């Protein structure tokens, strides 16, 4: 009973924080003042947490009608190869990589597995070339760090996301059509060959029995190491460019300078 009350109080407090943060974002509190990005981040995190707790529960209970007593295909068709009951955290990792990996995490994940060269070359160097030549900045509406952010985003999205670009950058030019097309081709498909090579190498390996020297991939240590490598590699690769673009722009915006 006490635990239930604590959970209810915690969710009510989180809802109140979300409402207050949303009030600052839309200008209900302190209208006319510049919105601090912290309120936007707080509101977003609270809404995501509340949606995960209640909306996902509604989907599981009313829409999908999940029944834990029913065996899954992995249990019914367990053959040890294609169908195999998996630890829930390993399954969460697969879902996380499949859903979020197609967006902002695909670059760091590929870097952790096959090296950072494709993403590094076709995002950072591509952006540097676009800034250095007249054709790259001729269709740029915003100068300064905001313009750098727009070019960085265009190459990042072409190499690892959906190929979109900010409205302030006109990418329908011969230069950007060719540059972003090459970035998309190499950043997305150049890793297919090493991926197939690694898969073929693993398929040829013989299965060895589990021993005390085996490093399990379904434990918290492996999950922590994997996530740490993903974020560390991503930070080391892109932080210098981000520091010159969005980070600098944010600090200048706090001083009243906009681009």
Which residues, other chains included, contact 208 with Cβ-Cβ below 8 Å and sequence gap of 6+? none
Out of 65-74, 132-141, 250-259, which region has the weakest mean confidence (pLDDT)? 250-259
pTM of this prediction? 0.48
Domain ranges of the chain: 1-70, 101-201+216-259
pLDDT tens digits for range 183-223: 888 777 776 777 777 777 877 777 777 777 777 777 788 88
pLDDT tens digits for range 121-178: 667 777 777 877 888 888 887 777 878 888 888 887 787 777 777 777 888 888 888 8
37-50 and 2-26 helices cross at what angle (nearest 10)? 140
Which residues, other chains included, contact 23 with Cβ-Cβ below 8 Å and sequence gap of 6+? 29
> Rounded to an integer, what distance in angstroms lies between the CA atom of residue 22 and that of residue 115?
40
> Rounded to an integer, what distance in angstroms lies between the CA atom of residue 47 and that of residue 14?
9
**Contact between 109 and 234 (Cβ < 8 Å):** no
DSSP H helices, 51-143, are 56-58, 73-76, 88-99, 106-114, 117-119, 126-132, 134-137
Q: What is the pLDDT of residue 95?
A: 72
Q: Is the pLDDT of residue 102 over 70?
A: no
> Rounded to an integer, what distance in angstroms lies between the CA atom of residue 21 and that of residue 226?
33
Which residues, other chains included, contact 137 with Cβ-Cβ below 8 Å and sequence gap of 6+? 130, 131, 147
Q: Convert 83-107 into a string of H (helix), E (strand) and C (coil).
A: CCCCCHHHHHHHHHHHHCCCCCCHH
């Amino acid at each position: 009973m006490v635990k239930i009350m604590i959970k209810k109080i915690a969710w009510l407090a989180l809802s109140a924080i979300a409402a207050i943060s949303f009030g600052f974002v839309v200008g209900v509190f302190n209208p006319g003042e510049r919105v601090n990005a912290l309120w936007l981040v707080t509101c977003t995190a609270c809404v995501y947490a509340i949606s995960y707790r209640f909306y996902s529960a509604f989907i599981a209970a009313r829409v999908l009608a999940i029944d834990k007593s029913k065996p899954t295909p992995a249990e019914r068709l367990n053959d040890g190869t294609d169908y195999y009951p998996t630890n829930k955290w390993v399954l969460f990792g697969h879902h996380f990589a499949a859903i979020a990996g197609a967006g902002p995490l695909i670059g760091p994940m590929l870097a952790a597995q096959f090296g950072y060269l494709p993403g590094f070359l076709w995002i950072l160097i591509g952006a540097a070339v676009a800034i250095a030549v007249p054709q790259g900045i001729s269709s740029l509406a915003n100068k300064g760090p905001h313009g750098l952010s727009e070019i960085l985003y265009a190459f990042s999205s072409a190499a690892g996301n959906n190929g979109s670009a900010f409205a302030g950058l006109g990418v329908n030019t011969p230069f950007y059509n060719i540059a972003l097309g090459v970035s998309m081709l190499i950043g997305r498909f150049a890793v297919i060959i090493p991926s197939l090579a690694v898969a073929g190498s693993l398929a040829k390996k013989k299965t060895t029995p589990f021993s005390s020297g085996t490093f399990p991939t379904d434990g918290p240590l492996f999950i922590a190491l994997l996530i740490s490598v993903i974020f560390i590699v991503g930070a080391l690769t892109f932080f210098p460019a981000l520091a010159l673009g969005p980070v600098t722009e944010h600090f200048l915006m706090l001083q009243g300078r906009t681009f």
